[in-house]
Amino acid sequence: MAKFDITEIIEIPEGIEISLNGRVMTAKGPKGECSKDLISPIVKIKVEEKKIILEVTKATKREKRLINTARAHVRNIIKGVTEGYVYKLKICSGHFPMSVNMEGDKITVKNFLGEKIPRHARLLEGSKVEIKGDEIIVSSTNIELAGQTAVNIERSTRITNRDRRRFQDGIFIIQKAGVEV
């Protein structure tokens, strides 16, 4: 089994400040701030001048996977503070007219399939949610926060014990981080 030294160099774009405090990487850019705990002790991370250097010595397949994961996290952080992540959800009500409202850190869905008890979805701190007509727009600098908030909203209208082909009501993700679903 051959072992190699692997070094990945990621260029930091203009207008972005990256700092490293232990294993926590924090980036500041035009869209805001994002931080991530890169927990792998095997991957050595350094920030020098306008470069992020990821290093692994005597790497096997496992270490190669870890360095690729760390590289993906760093790229997501950089993209988040430069462009941001936006998820779009569509409100579909065919049987009963449901109403969707924001109440603090929750979204409340009333009259879903004629139910008397409203359903709630928890909004994660760090994500921004807007309701425009029959669309819900979730945005954040952190892809994980934006995605989890969108999924929480979608899961709040999950239907059980009914035929999904007939009861097509609910809130559905139609765009994930800029990619149509």
pLDDT tens digits, one per residue of 17-31: 999 998 899 999 999
What integer is the mean pLDDT of 159-178? 88
Separation in Å, CA 117 to CA 95, 108, 110, 113: 17, 10, 7, 11
Same domain, 22 and 61: yes
What integer is the mean pLDDT of 89-116? 92
pLDDT at 2: 66
The continuous run of DSSP H or E covering 63 comes out as helix 61-82
Same domain, 165 and 101: yes
26: domain CATH number is 3.90.930.12
Banded model confidence at residue 42, pLDDT cuts 50, 70, 90: confident
Strand pairing class (51-59; 4-11): antiparallel
**Across the strands, what pairs with 21?**
24
pLDDT at 181: 80
Residues 6+ apart with CB under 8 A from 172: 89, 90, 92, 154
User: What's the chain's average pLDDT?
Assistant: 91
Same domain, 78 and 106: no
Same domain, 102 and 164: yes
pLDDT at 142: 95
pLDDT beyond 70 at 1 = no
Residue-number span of the structural domain to which 119 is assigned: 85-180
pLDDT at 75: 94
Banded model confidence at residue 162, pLDDT cuts 50, 70, 90: confident
What integer is the mean pLDDT of 78-94? 94
Among the candidates 58, 82, 106, a domain finishes at: 82
Strand pairing class (51-59; 44-48): antiparallel
Give the count of domains, the chain.
2
pLDDT beyond 80 at 166 = yes
pLDDT beyond 70 at 77 = yes
Per the document, the length of the chain is 181
